[in-house]
Structure 1
Amino acid sequence: MNHPMHRPLAAAVTLCVAMLALDAQAQQPAATDLDRVEVTGTRIKRAEMEGQVPVHTLTRSEIERTGLTSIGEVLQQLTGSGSALNAKFNSSGNFGFPPDGSGVGAGSAQIDLRHLGAKRVLVLVDGIRWVNESSASGVGSATDLNTIPLAIVERIEVLEDGASSLYGSDAIAGVVNIITRRSFDGGQVTLNYGQYGKGDGTQRGVDLAWGTQGDRYSLFLGASWTKQDEVLARTRAQSAFPVPGTGLALGSSATPDGRFVFTDPNTGITHDLTPNSGVGSPAFNGGAGCERSDDYHCFGTADRFNFAQYNMLLAPSERKGLFGQFRFDLTDSVQWYVKALGNRRESTNQAAPEPLFFGPDGATGNPLADNIVISALNPYNPFGFDLDSSDNLMMIGRRPVEGGARVFQQKVDTSYVATGLTGDFRAADRSWYWDVNGMYSRNKAEQTNHGSYNIYNVNLALGDPALCAATPGCVPLDIFGGAGSITPDMLRWIQPVVRDRSQNELSVFSANLSSELFTLPAGPLAFATGYEYRRYEGSYQPDPLTVIGHYNGVPSQPTSGSYDVNEAYLELSVPLFADSALGDKLDLSLAGRYSDYSTFGGEFTPKYGLRWQVTNDFVLRTTYAEGFRAPSIGELYGSAARADLQLFDPCSVGLGGTPPRGSAANCAALGVPGGFQQANSQISVTTGGNRELQPETSRSFSAGFVWSPWFGSNASWSERFDVEVTFYRHHIDGAIQAINAQTQLDLCVDTLDPLYCDGITRATTGAVSSFNNRLTNLGSIKTDGWDVDLFWTLPQSAAGQFKLGWQNTFVGRYEALGAAGQRQPQKPGVEVADGAIPEWSSNASLSWTLDNWNASWTVRHISELTEDCGDAVAFAVCSNPTEGTNRLGAITYHDLQVGYKLDWMKGLQLSAGLNNAFDKDPPICLSCSLNGYDASTYDIPRGRFWYLRADLRF
């Protein structure tokens, strides 16, 4: 794609290089050694903060202005951030297990940059990578930012550019570098309290900090406690039903009273029944047997189950953390440091009571449920004949509300210790900077699941009563008598407590050296080089019940694995000219990193950049980088996993009798009879790891400028004025993923190609009975866009001082292709799979200070989106039923904060804030899995949140 920025930049760079031979400048003195720093995006210590790559820095005051208490929540408000897990995801239950083997990530907070996925963002703490998350249900491949207390953060630097040449694997989409507090003298106590306008979701926290400094040492200690209460979905109108505006039509067919679809072997009539004790009415399909004189009637929409009543809009959590950092000057030029952190996160997710599906149309993927025989001798079987999955049983859906909701409780313990030496020395008439570092970190998680079922015991309890009687503890099960028919004795036999465990470990040793090699006519040629060794170990140990296949789901096996990597890198900063007619300065940066993995071998990644200081107030810069992401332990070694996804079968008659979307001939060829209607829209999709996976590779390009015009500095209307514009482009090849399940199902029906149909099997009824798509290195992901930022500081006046920051991201292209070139549904302006790619995201913040007063007003804007209506196309809530799409309107949130500082002790700062001040509801999402909105993009419905903060320094 040709972009207007390319031609002038390319011409300028060509001209600069051509003029280099003519530019015989006098030898310049070496840059001063004072205030040399290392900025994210380069390993070379330099005096200039504005490098070749755009780095967005969030200061501590900017973080506090958000009123948020999680690093993940703060970063997810960046305009370049994509969809990622947070506390608004009630992410256990039907979200299932993602195909990368990482588990559900319940309770975690992640960061996605450029919509390329959280696992393609590298998270560093003080320049050293952080351990991946542990969810207790898999081996994570992304970082859980809730394992790092916000209280220990000094600032956060975000590089939204490929950086594998400097930092290694995972830095495809960018790097987040969290800088911890170290130079602190005295104490600090911070108290937080907040609540949503409806009186729920209460949040409170206490942060403690203390530090001291001497001539040769510094010590910082921090402690943090944060507790977040839940918000229940049933308390908001938008999330009180499965899909807003559709009532019970898209509710579950697994109901407290039960749904029974079978053929009577005595009459040959197929029935679709539910007990009269329910709330439904007869004549759902008008077929034979609908008018009945017994205790059952034909299943209808009014009988469906509203599972949304049990969901959460905001998951409760409690985080407790301790952090310490000690630094000691061994000599005038050598410093030793040691850091340690301990953090515990306890969180809870909740889903509706777990459904029991039986028969081929239940499509659970578990043979104990799909191939069940319910004996005619079962004392509760009212039909007088066997219900046999291989003969006359199509589906039974029963939701034992007697056993309560599914509750998933996580405990995640993070431990971290690091030590090292940093120093400098003089040699060959120049300064040399060096450091050696060692780090070990571990995330260990336990998840306890209440409310699930032992499908093996269920099978026994529904089968031959003689076999049940011969099994100690077995009690015959009544799934036919309606809600309340399952007794406590029955529950004790079928309802276990399931406990899963997992952990991730990371060990790192690194050594780095930076200096200047020699002096060129335009200045010193600087370099940085280093070596890094990393070892990853991860494991997932499911409950023994799950391992043997008795859990009410797909059997899962333990996962464990490890690998290590040795790496070396070199970075050069080459001055091409200085004080020339072509500009003040032109620097070329070169970097390369070689990585040797024990799993797949070696990989080399280069990076090139130019920084052209055209004038004192105008900088042009551009970079090109190649990168890679090594497959994670879960992706390599993960066992079979399951996700229960809302999928719409193209061969199915739609709600209201709309004809199938798919070709009748193709559907017949797949064994789907005419008039087939999908009984269960939740289809279990299984996947798993692949030891043959190769690394993803990427190419990244950025180009832009920074302009700080002279007329905007120290002028009557402006103290400082800056404009920053950056074009970005990322191209990933061999992306590790499974094809989007809905896309695969659609393509199978449309093409009958085995590439898509292999792994999808159908029962004799025509329903999808199993769906398997494995991880592989699929096609490509391409995305590009623009960042346009403006910063304006007004002069101090009698009215105080105002500062304006306005940041914008425009996504021009996002294209994901499968291995055979099949287009995935993600693209700009589209909502799909609980994730959005807005074409325009914008944050504007106006801050004001006057004496002891301060205030801020932040405006967050998300442009409009469209989505497929799916089965909701028959309802008025679908805004464009002709095209089968729904519009999610643009939304703008307003956040306010005001504060006053009292001159007591070293200062008492009091602040009050209101986020989503006008109580804007998110746009209704018909395709989202839960709660009727996209939890990764918007605030919760009725989401006005007020908070108070007191910060005392002493």
Structure 2
Amino acid sequence: MNYLHHRPLAVAVALCVTALAPLGAAAQSATTDLDRVEVTGTRIKRAEVEGQVPVQTLNRADIERTGLTSIGEVLQQLTGSGSALNAKFNSSGNFGFPPDGSGVGAGSAQVDLRHLGAKRVLVLVDGIRWVNESSASGVGSATDLNTIPLAIVERIEVLEDGASSLYGSDAIAGVVNIITRRDFDGGQVTMNYGQYGKGDGTQKGVDLAWGKSGDRYSLFLGASWTKQDPVYAKDREQSRFPIPGTGLAFGSGGIPQGRFAFVDPNTGAEQDIVPNTGVSSPRYDGSAGCNRTDDYHCFTSADRFNFAEYNMVLTPSERKGLFGQFRFDITDNVQWYVKALGNRRESTNQAGPEPLFFGPDGATGNPLADNIVVSALNPYNPFGFDLVSSGNMSLIGRRPVEGGARVFEQQVDTTYFATGLVGNFQAADRSWYWDVNGMYSKNKAEQTNYGSYNIYNVNMALGDPAVCAATPGCVPLNIFGGAGSITPDMLRWIQPVVRDRSQNELSLFTANLSSDLFTLPAGPVSFATGLEHRKYKGSYQPDPLTVIGHYNGVPSQPTSGSYDVNEAYLELSVPIFADSALGKKLDLSLAGRYSDYSTFGGEFTPKYGLRWQVTDDFVLRTTYAEGFRAPSIGELYGSAARADLQLFDPCSVGLGGTPPRGSAANCASLGVPTGFQQANSQISVTTGGNRELEPERSRSFSAGFVWSPWFGNDASWSERFDVEVTFYRHNIDGAIQAINAQTQLDLCVDTLDPIYCDGITRASTGAVSSFNNRLTNLGSIKTDGWDVDLFWTLPQSSIGQFKLGWKNTFVGRYEATGAAGQRQPQKPGVEVADSSIPEWTSNASIGWTLDNWSANWTVRHISELTEDCGDAVAFPVCSNQAAGTNTLSATTFHDMQVGYKIDWMKGLQLTAGLNNVFDKDPPICLSCSLNGYDASTYDIPRGRYWYLRADLRF
């Protein structure tokens, strides 16, 4: 290992030893110093809460005003948040496996800051890391915030700045620090009930809290239960079809009647036919040799299957949590604490009945399906000859609706235990603050899948009936007779129950020390230092049927891995001047952390900051930080898996008959015949981890000011007025990701460059038959923008008191490039891959209080976005057909809340609220995978939601 990697550790340890040296000679003091606190963004205990970096704090009142019951959903409404998973993503069975090995995260709620991804946000609870999620389909690299009951939260502090030097890996985009409730005397019962205007999506819950404190102890206990009912896609006009405004055009070619594309060996005619089951009369079509007058008709878009009506717009879940925290003052200066949590989430996703695709145009990536032979001897085969993949048969698409919808049920259990000592003492004429902490946490998930198929058994049931007859349980399968032709006996042979499991574990030990080193003319030089050890373990175990390759759905292999890290950090706060002609005060902050990973070695990350108090009411501040994110277990050890992605082949004739976008010469050189039309809009893309991955490295810069003008404080027109402006910039090098699959496919056709075409193969029909898209350290991500926030508290008057807040984020740049310099499609003002980067997001609120009454009105605004129409360009729903783009118009949601407090016991607070007051629909998204809108950015269609809450304290 490089000596330079280790040298910072020696420096850090030496500084720690120097700082600790006075302890041996110091006398203990009984003096208790409670004036200093630690806030997110610094480890130094200080009296001033406002530091060098912008920290946004959400207290319980802020959280309750949203009417939401999930921490993730609350944080996703911040203007600086990007696209992240939530309950509006009906993900299982549709999105496949992401290349980072994390699984689909079904039922979880995450937070993304600055559009850099949830895995680049570090989540802390009381200043200590929280365990990453396990999705039951992979080993997650982000935190599921649904594992933390909202009822136990005192406040949430959000740092939207790089902080690896203070907190280590993952803190590239920022830090979310969830502070739990601690000092609480008495009891509290909170009940809530809500429902969407259409009478569905009912949400109800009960939270219990009880606390007691004495001279030397405090105890807090909390319990939470929340249940969310589903909203089905069929009950919303916008989500009833795969893409709004296109009818069945983008429905599936895997249909209940069965679709059969082959060359008749007796006549040489090409056929693409469907049984007339359910059709009043035969249809005739002379194109491509398809001319039927029998019991079949030629396949058209009118035959496609509408899978959308089986989906969910809002997925159901039930969450139960218990939390306890006990603190005991061993002496006046030493406190022992213990904390424990248990949380269970039960959630469900649902997708349309699983299709069976056979043949090269099915592009499933499963050899048992792509290379199948349907025997002429099968008693239900009406054609009298074998149907041979890559021979005379190119596609069979049969959707066994007899087996019902695909249902994915998750059970996710989180356990957490932490204990430690916190104290302070007097030595060398100064106060010293210290803490030691130990923590263990586990997130364990199980997913049960109903409605999928055993493709090996399907193969046998379609093959030689003699082989089937010799196999116990095998029943010949009828895929030719249309819907209803698959009997219960046939289903018992081909339809298993699939069970997958995964878990993440985190154990850690930390020790921290903070004090003043010495005094300069401008004030004391303060420091914080500490050591940390962490151990990560993760595993994913798919169903044995999946492991041996017999599962018809998305295949995957087991994943297992572990690593540990040792770290040391030092932070300094150095006063440069105070009360001078240049201003009230100028402080310099310096921080550095050395991390030694068992997987790749050492990493040193520094941070520098300046805070200039120009006047009593004006502060300038700036920071520069270097950071890193270590590859996660899924990214390192994730085995081969598959994602079935909605991709448009540039060599394909469009669904509306539009010519291929790609060059005819280039398509021909790739083996694509003239007139080729993509049969299956979902292309299977193989993904997997990479043990050679290096850490991502980042550079972050911020600069801004806080202005609280004297004329706006305690004035006739204003009790307090504040303006906060921050410029931010993040650069990430060696970002761990796979090139966007659509971008890779487009570049392959446009350039024929092996960089893009290697890993993409095509069948003899021209269809993409395999697509290898693996993780690597790609090029870079660069983003910058501005936060502009205004806060105004008006004086109390006879009509009450008003408070106004207006928060804005403007994204100026977002550029993502691959290793070879290829630009990824993400940029400001663009919607792509179920995520968006609005150029402007804004939240404005006005609050009012008068005696026991309170009210609040909130406005949430998302600026206009643009997306590629893809094959939907042929339909009027594409707003600019000439340019091939669709505009997602600027959208504004309004929320209101009214409350009244009754002076009974310690107080009974009654609250009624209405979110999305004007029932605003989200803009139609043509490129989004499900439900016709971007679930990570907007409220659901027809999303007016009312709720009631009662909060009794006793």
TM-score, normalized by the shorter chain, greater than 0.5? yes
Aligned counterpart, 1:619: 619
Contact 1:279 1:302 in 2 (8 A): no
C-alpha distance in 2 between matches for 1:504 and 1:160: 26
Contact 1:121 1:170 in 2 (8 A): yes
Contact 1:282 1:300 in 2 (8 A): no
Q: Once the 2 structures are TM-superposed, how far is the Cα of residue 34 of structure 1 from its aligned partner?
A: 4.6
The answer to whether the aligner puts 1:416 opposite 2:416 as a matched pair is yes
C-alpha distance in 2 between matches for 1:390 and 1:668: 19
Aligned counterpart, 1:678: 678
Aligned counterpart, 1:49: 49
Contact 2:452 2:553 in 1 (8 A): no
**Residues 503-582 of structure 1 aligned to structure 2 (within 5 Å):** 503-553=503-553, 555-582=555-582
Amino acid at match of 1:297: H
C-alpha distance in 1 between matches for 2:442 and 2:176: 19
Q: Once the 2 structures are TM-superposed, how far is the Cα of residue 291 of structure 1 from its aligned partner?
A: 2.9
Aligned counterpart, 2:316: 316
Figure out how many residues of one structure are paired with residues of the other and give that number: 923
Aligned counterpart, 1:130: 130
C-alpha distance in 1 between matches for 2:540 and 2:270: 44
Aligned counterpart, 2:802: 802
Contact 2:554 2:644 in 1 (8 A): no
Single out whichever of 641-650 and 415-424 deviates more from structure 2.
641-650
Amino acid at match of 1:668: A
Aligned counterpart, 2:853: 853
Aligned counterpart, 1:727: 727
Amino acid at match of 1:828: P
SS at match of 1:340: strand
**Residues 623-642 of structure 1 aligned to structure 2 (within 5 Å):** 623-642=623-642
Amino acid at match of 1:472: P
Aligned counterpart, 1:777: 777
SS at match of 1:491: helix
Aligned counterpart, 2:250: 250
Amino acid at match of 1:715: A
Aligned counterpart, 1:29: none
Aligned counterpart, 1:488: 488
C-alpha distance in 2 between matches for 1:342 and 1:288: 62
**Residues 109-188 of structure 1 aligned to structure 2 (within 5 Å):** 109-188=109-188
Gaps of 5+ in 2: 1-31
Q: Once the 2 structures are TM-superposed, how far is the Cα of residue 555 of structure 1 from its aligned partner?
A: 3.8
Q: Once the 2 structures are TM-superposed, how far is the Cα of residue 596 of structure 1 from its aligned partner?
A: 0.2
Aligned counterpart, 1:234: 234
Q: Deviations over 1:212-267 (max 9, x none)?
A: 01010000000000000000000000000110000001111100111111111111
C-alpha distance in 2 between matches for 1:272 and 1:706: 68
C-alpha distance in 1 between matches for 2:114 and 2:285: 48
Gaps of 5+ in 1: 1-31
Distance 1:623 1:242, change over 3 A: same
Distance 1:285 1:935, change over 3 A: farther
Contact 1:365 1:554 in 2 (8 A): no
SS at match of 1:658: coil
Distance 1:655 1:608, change over 3 A: same
Aligned counterpart, 1:744: 744
SS at match of 2:204: strand
SS at match of 1:896: strand
C-alpha distance in 2 between matches for 1:800 and 1:269: 82
C-alpha distance in 2 between matches for 1:581 and 1:496: 79
C-alpha distance in 2 between matches for 1:181 and 1:317: 25
Contact 2:725 2:789 in 1 (8 A): yes
Q: Deviations over 1:151-204 (max 9, x none)?
A: 000000000000000000000000000000000000000000000000000000
TM-score (norm 1): 0.96
C-alpha distance in 1 between matches for 2:183 and 2:422: 16
CA RMSD of aligned residues (A): 1.0
C-alpha distance in 2 between matches for 1:255 and 1:557: 29
Aligned counterpart, 1:713: 713
Single out whichever of 285-294 and 874-883 deviates more from structure 2.
285-294
Aligned counterpart, 1:586: 586
Aligned counterpart, 1:863: 863
Q: Once the 2 structures are TM-superposed, how far is the Cα of residue 554 of structure 1 from its aligned partner?
A: 5.2
**Residues 251-290 of structure 1 aligned to structure 2 (within 5 Å):** 251-279=251-279, 286-290=286-290
Q: Deviations over 1:792-815 (max 9, x none)?
A: 000000010100010000000000
Aligned counterpart, 1:223: 223
Identity, in percent, stands at 88
Contact 1:743 1:824 in 2 (8 A): yes
SS at match of 2:212: strand
C-alpha distance in 2 between matches for 1:48 and 1:341: 32
Aligned counterpart, 1:296: 296
Aligned counterpart, 1:906: 906
SS at match of 1:381: coil
Q: Deviations over 1:60-112 (max 9, x none)?
A: 00000000000000000000000000000001011111111011100000000
C-alpha distance in 1 between matches for 2:35 and 2:921: 48
C-alpha distance in 2 between matches for 1:335 and 1:288: 82
Q: Deviations over 1:653-704 (max 9, x none)?
A: 1122111000001000000001111111111111101000010000000000
**Residues 871-950 of structure 1 aligned to structure 2 (within 5 Å):** 871-950=871-950
Contact 2:284 2:292 in 1 (8 A): no
SS at match of 1:489: helix
Aligned counterpart, 1:85: 85
**Residues 347-366 of structure 1 aligned to structure 2 (within 5 Å):** 347-366=347-366
C-alpha distance in 2 between matches for 1:237 and 1:293: 37
Distance 1:59 1:642, change over 3 A: same
Contact 2:96 2:554 in 1 (8 A): no
Aligned counterpart, 2:20: none
C-alpha distance in 2 between matches for 1:113 and 1:741: 24
Distance 1:863 1:562, change over 3 A: same
Contact 2:284 2:293 in 1 (8 A): no
Amino acid at match of 2:430: R
SS at match of 1:545: helix
Q: Once the 2 structures are TM-superposed, how far is the Cα of residue 290 of structure 1 from its aligned partner?
A: 3.1
Aligned counterpart, 1:425: 425
Distance 1:284 1:883, change over 3 A: farther
C-alpha distance in 2 between matches for 1:267 and 1:637: 52
Contact 2:554 2:643 in 1 (8 A): no
SS at match of 1:94: coil
C-alpha distance in 1 between matches for 2:642 and 2:150: 34
C-alpha distance in 2 between matches for 1:276 and 1:435: 75
Distance 1:461 1:37, change over 3 A: same
Contact 2:148 2:343 in 1 (8 A): yes
Distance 1:856 1:76, change over 3 A: same
C-alpha distance in 1 between matches for 2:373 and 2:153: 59
C-alpha distance in 2 between matches for 1:248 and 1:357: 19
Contact 1:154 1:180 in 2 (8 A): yes
C-alpha distance in 1 between matches for 2:849 and 2:97: 48
C-alpha distance in 2 between matches for 1:279 and 1:841: 50
Amino acid at match of 1:122: L
C-alpha distance in 1 between matches for 2:437 and 2:789: 36
Amino acid at match of 1:497: V
**Residues 598-609 of structure 1 aligned to structure 2 (within 5 Å):** 598-609=598-609
SS at match of 1:376: coil
C-alpha distance in 2 between matches for 1:847 and 1:656: 52
Q: Once the 2 structures are TM-superposed, how far is the Cα of residue 282 of structure 1 from its aligned partner?
A: 6.6
C-alpha distance in 1 between matches for 2:296 and 2:693: 53
SS at match of 1:656: coil
C-alpha distance in 2 between matches for 1:286 and 1:304: 20
Contact 2:453 2:553 in 1 (8 A): no
Contact 1:281 1:300 in 2 (8 A): no
Aligned counterpart, 1:329: 329
Contact 1:284 1:300 in 2 (8 A): no
Q: Once the 2 structures are TM-superposed, how far is the Cα of residue 301 of structure 1 from its aligned partner?
A: 1.1
Amino acid at match of 1:923: P
TM-score (norm 2): 0.96
Contact 1:729 1:785 in 2 (8 A): yes
Aligned counterpart, 2:19: none
Aligned counterpart, 1:471: 471
